[in-house]
Amino acid sequence: MQSHICSIVPPYLLRGIAESQSNDDKARQGARNCLAHRERVTTKRAERFRLLSQPPATRAAANIHRGHRNIVPEVLLQHIADSGDVDDNTKARARGDIERTRRVTSAYQKSLKGENVDQPDPKDGGVTATKAGGKTGDDNTGDDAPPKDPGSSGFYRAVYDAKHSEDESTLPGDVLRVEGQAAVKDETANAAFDNVGRVLEFYLEQFKWKSIDNKNQHVISSVHFGQAYGNAFWDPEIAQMVFGDGDDFIGNFATCIDVIGHELTHAVTEHTSPLNYDAQPGALNEHVSDVFGIMIKQKYEDETADKADWLIGEGCLLPGVKGVALRSMKAPGTAYDDPRFGKDPQPANMSDYKPTTDDNGGVHLYSGIPNKAFYLASVAFGGYSWEKAGQIWWKTMSAGRVPASCTFVQFADATVDTAEELFGADAAKTVRDAWNQVGVTRKN
């Protein structure tokens, strides 16, 4: 069983901090704690992503859903509806959603038990539950999908306080800020709330994709996770973002929009082309998150491809660290070089690719190779990265062309084919040249 946790800080960097004699005991212990947490959650993460690539019947039997968090916990809706500082429109929508959710959920549960139910009002989401084994209406996208959240015109965001616990069973924690509520005193909560909104706005504006599942799935985040926890991650099992406060070297996760873009893209990948989190498909999984994370950052900062720095996690390295970011897509292997956690080990070319058992077959390590290909294609196209290269990568991921066990060469071929469909033969050549430059080439 391979391990998996979608985290922004790679395990090899954490291991470097834990093992470096240049660090004090507190720093080394903090890194060990992060690595230990990763080990605790790896098995269930890997199993989820393995099952996501299985046929619907298999996923249903294992109760694995791609949209299992579509209905906001009623306690959150009630909090929004009752809050004195949430705007009136959002409160009214929450009250309506409470009523509709109860009706639709009741009908859905009765249908699963084989009970006859009355046909709900179409405004409640179009559910036409009949009997178990019968087909429901358009509330489902597949045999394994739960009923969608009815009635909502958009998603809800909510940020919770994990209160420095590392026990995932206590998540999300105590509510700090919800949709329709003004900024609160906790600046980390405000940053997480606002940046989640910016990421989802980017997906909607550029790709017509609604939230993370294209059905306005509501997005939950927890801040202040763990004691000096130097990482941020998307938890696919409970479908939410989790942010640590950082340690002596790495932090500011909620304020880095590319970090949030990266992590939420792991969730989008679940709903487009789930990639096995191991070796080359796992590196592509990380690569896709970096691609959309960097585009969101460039959009927010209004940077064209040739002017952008192409740094992932630029704001995560704290003052005093000898480095500029967690990763460089433009020049993999140059993001940092500090005796307290080592030198950035990412290669930029397939000539340096060597199979490994570390980090799920090097998923964070070898993502630098396709990362540079995307950078090269974006600069060659000119303009903004999301105008052509981003559209090609998005269509590749969302059109069902990427198998769960996809290799670099297969992914390269798929992007070349998509480029030709969208923009013509010259665009296809541009993308092929980018892959050739990083050594991802077809074998004769």
Question: For residue 130, what pLDDT band results from cuts at 50, 70 and 90?
Answer: very low
Per-residue pLDDT, 1:
31
Q: Which residues pair with 161 in a beta bridge?
A: 174, 223
Q: Give the active site residue among 263, 270, 286, 314.
A: 263
Answer yes or no: is 372 within a domain.
yes
Answer yes or no: is 37 within a domain.
no
Phi, psi of 230 (to 5 degrees): -95, 55
CB-based burial label for 78 (10 Å; 0-12, 13-18, 19+): middle
Instruction: Decide: 26 and 20 in contact? Cβ < 8 Å.
Output: no
Q: Give the active site residue among 218, 262, 287, 364.
A: 364
In terms of residue numbers, what domain contains 316? 279-437
Q: Mean of the pLDDT values across residues 187-215? A: 96
Answer yes or no: is 40 within a domain.
no
In degrees, rounded to 5, the angle at the alpha carbon of residue 348 between the alpha carbons of residues 344 and 354 is 85
Answer yes or no: is 64 within a domain.
no
Instruction: Decide: 371 and 285 in contact? Cβ < 8 Å.
Output: no
Q: What is the CATH number of the domain that holds 326?
A: 1.10.390.10
Question: For residue 332, what pLDDT band results from cuts at 50, 70 and 90?
Answer: very high
Answer yes or no: is 78 within a domain.
no
Per-residue pLDDT, 141:
38
Per-residue pLDDT, 149:
38
The number of angstroms, rounded, from the C-alpha of 328 to the middle of its chain's C-alpha atoms is: 19
Select the more confidently predicted residue: 147 or 400: 400
Q: Mean of the pLDDT values across residues 39-51? A: 58
Can you read off the two tokens belonging to residue 330? 């433009």
| Cα distances (angstroms) measured from residue 183 to each of 190, 191, 269 | 6, 9, 30
Per-residue pLDDT, 55:
61
Instruction: Give the separation between CA 270 and CA 67, rounded to whole angstroms.
Output: 9
- The DSSP bridge pattern shows strands 327-328 and 337-338 to be unpaired
Q: Which residues pair with 86 in a beta bridge?
A: 181
Select the more confidently predicted residue: 404 or 1: 404
Per-residue pLDDT, 315:
86
Q: Which residues pair with 6 in a beta bridge?
A: 234
Q: Is the pLDDT of residue 358 over 80?
A: yes
Q: Give the model confidence (pLDDT) of 301-324 as tens digits.
A: 999 999 999 999 998 888 888 999
Per-residue pLDDT, 91:
78
Answer yes or no: is 382 within a domain.
yes
* DSSP-assigned letter for residue 246: B
Answer yes or no: is 333 within a domain.
yes
pTM above 0.85, yes or no: no
* DSSP-assigned letter for residue 281: H
Can 364 be counted among the known catalytic residues? yes
Q: Is the pLDDT of residue 70 over 50?
A: no
| 218 contact partners, CB below 8 Å, separation of at least 6 | 69, 70, 72, 149, 155, 156, 157, 158, 211
The number of folded domains in the chain is 1
Instruction: Decide: 305 and 381 in contact? Cβ < 8 Å.
Output: yes
Q: Which residues pair with 336 in a beta bridge?
A: 323
